[in-house]
């Protein structure tokens, strides 16, 4: 049995701000069938400790980046957890990265360096009876894991895998924090942790990990270009032989329309009667009072420019002209939140908006809307379009990143051969989105074609089986060379 320690700042259902948490929470069960035993190391945020329940202390750090800390073991939600209980770093109000006013905690580099340091110590054999073959670090918060392994003491070391979920978030710290972050002076160079005159935690992971993965094949290609590389494209091109695009999946038990407690009625690919009941329940819940036979478009997203939400606002006249209705769930940039709220006030019964995140409502929108909109400017993988396929909502997506890899556009050839699962548009502009809303309206009128697309989506593979096998093979390749 291969032992892997997954190191992350989020894990569903313990703590979640985005898709990172879903992936970290789903991987252990997916990999169990590949003879991989995975534990997850998380910061001991108050909500995490509360949801984890009873714990066992495995190790005590007398001083860890500014105070004492404990390493706790727990079992929760079917997950084998290690929790870094460091109150001086994590026992705070607000979110995992921000204070209650939404500002980044100024000591975030130190808070997550502590997590990485603990991971490297575990990789070197800190815990009697359990030593991982591989450390799998996720995003900038765990980017220093490969650095602490690389610059640590000589001797047996674990293999390292670093996964980029979103290259836009890079974890930069000023150079004077080098000693505070327990990094040696010789680490501060272009082939180490140095990035634009400071310490780049994401860059460190990309440079020093044995293997790099990102969450879709198309995004793996995109980030090696200046357009999408966020200043790291040169490094990623240089490390292209170590870079792998492995598509995310969703937990198809948590997202199962045949047994979803958040839906008004269950349904499956061969029995869509329940879906009509969910459609009616969504209309009632969101106060949608447009024509019952007009399409309901759903959005479950962060309300940000990256997600193309400004494009959707610009295209509201086209959406309304076609008689469509819009149900939005999300939070994000204040200007976009205000824009959607203003649209709901201007078009009651046609546009409904809920600001915030509500897991139950997210399921209800997926199970009740006719089409789900994902007009992202860039999208490493995206999970909402996979949920839409699973729940029979036709995804309308920008042709970028993982959206391009998971949705088959309803062009003439795909319609003729009966393989389409949704609609794609390119470039990511309001004009292109407008034109695709026109295409959606035409497809909606062709009920036979719409039903075929919907049926294809319901049967599309959206789970982890294929990707889990690829991760297991990658782990074994680095464990063999460590």
Q: Judging by beta carbons within 10 Å of its beta carbon (0-12, 13-18, 19+), is residue 131 exposed, middle or buried?
A: middle
Q: Is the pLDDT of residue 253 over 90?
A: no
Q: Which pLDDT belongs to residue 290?
A: 81
Q: Say what percent of the chain tops pLDDT 90.
A: 93
Mean pLDDT, residues 158-163 taken together: 98
pTM summary value = 0.90
Residue 435: strand, helix, or coil: helix
For the segment 231-251, the average pLDDT, to the nearest whole number, is 96
Ranges of CATH 3.40.50.2000 domains, the chain:
2-249+464-481, 273-458
pLDDT number for residue 273: 86
Bridge-based pairing of strands 243-245 and 56-61 is unpaired
Q: What is the three-class DSSP state of 372?
A: strand
CA 101 and chain centroid, separation: 24
Looking at residue 19, its pLDDT comes to 87
Range 2-249+464-481 has CATH code 3.10.580.10: no
Question: In this model, does residue 164 exceed pLDDT 90?
Answer: yes
DSSP H or E segment with residue 200: strand 198-200
Say if strands 211-214 and 159-164 run parallel, antiparallel, or are unpaired. Answer: parallel
pLDDT at 130 over 70: yes
CATH architecture of 273-458: 3-Layer(aba) Sandwich (3.40)
Q: 307 labelled as ligand-binding?
A: no
Residue 480 pLDDT exceeds 80: no
The pLDDT confidence band at residue 468, using thresholds 50, 70 and 90, is very high
Chain segment 373-428, per-residue pLDDT in tens: 999 999 999 999 999 999 999 999 999 999 999 999 999 999 999 999 999 999 99
- The residue behind tokens 């009966």 is 418
Summarize pLDDT for 22-80 with one digit per residue, the tens. Answer: 999 999 999 999 999 999 999 999 999 999 999 999 999 999 999 999 999 999 999 99
Is the predicted pLDDT of residue 481 greater than 80, yes or no?
no
Helix and strand numbers, DSSP H then E, in the chain: 19, 18
Residue 82 tokens, joined: 């290690």
Q: Cβ distance 104 to 95 under 8 Å?
A: no
- State the Cα–Cα distance between residues 308 and 296, nearest whole angstrom: 19
Say how far apart CA 462 and CA 189 lie, in whole Å.
41
Give me the pLDDT at residue 482, please. Answer: 62
| H/E run at residue 352 | strand 351-355
Which two three-digit tokens encode residue 190? Answer: 């272009």
Average of per-residue pLDDT values in the chain? 96
CA–CA separation, 233 and 243 (whole Å) = 12
- Tokens (6 digits) for 471: 């991760």
């Amino acid at each position: 049995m291969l032992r892997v320690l997954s190191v992350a700042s989020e894990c569903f259902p313990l703590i979640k701000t985005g898709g990172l948490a879903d992936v970290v929470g789903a991987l252990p069960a997916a990999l169990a069938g590949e003879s991989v035993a995975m534990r997850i190391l998380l910061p001991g945020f108050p909500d995490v400790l509360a949801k984890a329940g009873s714990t066992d202390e495995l190790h005590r750090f007398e001083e860890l980046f500014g105070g004492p800390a404990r390493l706790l073991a727990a079992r929760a939600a079917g997950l084998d957890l290690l929790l870094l209980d460091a109150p001086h770093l994590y026992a705070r109000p607000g979110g995992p990265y921000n204070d209650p006013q939404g500002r980044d905690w100024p000591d975030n580099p130190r808070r997550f360096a502590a997590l990485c340091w603990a991971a490297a110590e575990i990789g070197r054999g800190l815990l009697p009876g359990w030593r991982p073959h591989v450390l799998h670090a996720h995003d900038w918060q765990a980017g220093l894991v490969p650095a602490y392994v690389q610059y640590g003491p000589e001797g047996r070391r674990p293999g390292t895998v670093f996964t980029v979920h979103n290259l836009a978030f890079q974890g930069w710290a000023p150079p004077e924090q080098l000693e505070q972050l327990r990094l040696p002076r010789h680490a501060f160079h272009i082939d180490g942790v140095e990035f634009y005159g400071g310490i780049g935690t994401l860059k460190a992971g990309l440079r020093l990990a044995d293997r790099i993965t990102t969450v879709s094949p198309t995004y793996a290609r995109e980030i090696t270009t200046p357009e999408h590389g966020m200043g790291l494209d040169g490094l990623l091109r240089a490390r292209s032989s170590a870079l792998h695009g492995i598509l995310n999946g969703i937990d198809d038990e948590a997202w199962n329309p045949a047994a979803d407690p958040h839906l008004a009625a269950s349904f499956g690919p061969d029995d869509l009667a329940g879906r009509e009941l969910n459609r009616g329940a969504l209309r009632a819940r969101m106060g949608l009072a447009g024509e019952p036979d007009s399409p309901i478009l759903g959005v479950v997203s962060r309300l940000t420019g990256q997600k193309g939400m400004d494009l959707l606002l610009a295209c509201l006249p086209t959406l309304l002209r076609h008689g469509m209705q819009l149900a939005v769930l999300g939070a994000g940039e204040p200007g976009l939140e205000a824009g959607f709220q203003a649209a709901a006030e201007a078009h009651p019964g046609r546009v409904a908006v809920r600001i915030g995140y509500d897991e139950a409502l997210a399921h209800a929108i997926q199970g009740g809307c006719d089409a789900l909109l994902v007009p992202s400017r860039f999208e490493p993988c995206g999970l909402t379009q996979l949920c839409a396929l699973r729940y029979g909502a036709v995804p309308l997506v920008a042709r970028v990143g993982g959206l391009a890899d998971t949705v088959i556009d309803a062009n003439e050839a795909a319609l003729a051969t009966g393989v389409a699962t949704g609609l794609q548009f390119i470039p990511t502009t309001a004009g292109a989105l407008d034109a695709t809303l026109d295409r959606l309206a035409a497809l909606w009128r062709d009920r036979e074609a719409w039903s075929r697309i919907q049926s294809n989506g319901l049967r599309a593979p959206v789970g982890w089986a294929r990707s889990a096998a690829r991760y297991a093979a990658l782990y074994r390749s680095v464990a063999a060379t460590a």
